Structure 1
Amino acid sequence: MTESLDRIDRQLLRLLQRDGGLTNAELARKVNVSPATCFRRVERLHKGGHIRGIYADINPDSVDMGALVIVGVVLDRSTPESFAEFEAAIVKLNVIIDCQLVAGEFDYFLRARVNDIADFNHIHATQLIALPGVRQIRTFFVMKEVIDHAPLSF
């Protein structure tokens, strides 16, 4: 991603992060280039690693996963091996939608989508506390999502 982005590249990225379903013709019209030029530019942005993927933004409530839970995890050891072991295990849990290694009081922050508190309680009791190296888990139930999937500002 060392190549520089010009004004049109940045416009294309902004448009696609707002609506990944735009057709090539719509994108070309919005940035005032030919469809062929637009297609080549978007392909270059994909190949250059600027676009990681195009996804549908699913309404969690419509698939019975309306509860968002943030989980702070503290491991019993802070070693490369314990981090690797935890990370290898956490990627296998499909309820976890994000996992970040962080500095500070916790080692990791997880975001999980579940149906309700009872659903999370079951996952906590059967999966989370069984993760390798976990010393402590703190759970935060999200009351309201104020900003969700905000576009990058560049």
Structure 2
Amino acid sequence: MKINSKITGLALCAILSMSLMGCSNKTNPTSKEDSSKKETTKKQETVAKKDIPQGLSEELGNGTIVLSTEGGTSKDRNVPVLFADKDLMMSQIGLDAETFDGSKLSYIYVDGMLNAKEQLGEMTQTTLTLEKDALKEGTHKVEVVQYENDDLKGKAITYKTASYEIKSK
């Protein structure tokens, strides 16, 4: 009898434990909605938080830029390709600039985020270091802006663009 009552007791404990575990796996639907709203807000902040001033769409001023990767150049509006591993933390592409006003500081943006400040002149060769979002798969925009009196709040007097593409290996 003692063995049967022990087995029965253990079986009841096991059944009770399993039923309680099932109850503890319930999720709160409100928390899912809240986290979804937080993700949407973060995405909107990321999109809205760009360093480059709004309203620049047409190229203006003197100068040309050409991006170069192992896959070619952006000359004649081509989009050179850079093959990258998903794990790649940093890479570089070339930027050739011609006939820029060397007395002005040039602000270089990648996807709207400030990447570098350079003194571009008649014939300048430099490299852009790409990290994080600038290495995500897809097409990326490089913009070079020179401002009146080198003041970010001033009027843009030179604006040039080119693109490059990241593809997975």
Say whether the fold is shared (TM-score over 0.5).
no
Find the structure with the greater CA-based Rg. 2
RCO comparison, higher one (Cα < 8 Å, 6+):
1
Q: Where is the strand percentage greater, Structure 1 or Structure 2?
A: 2
TM-score by length of 1: 0.27
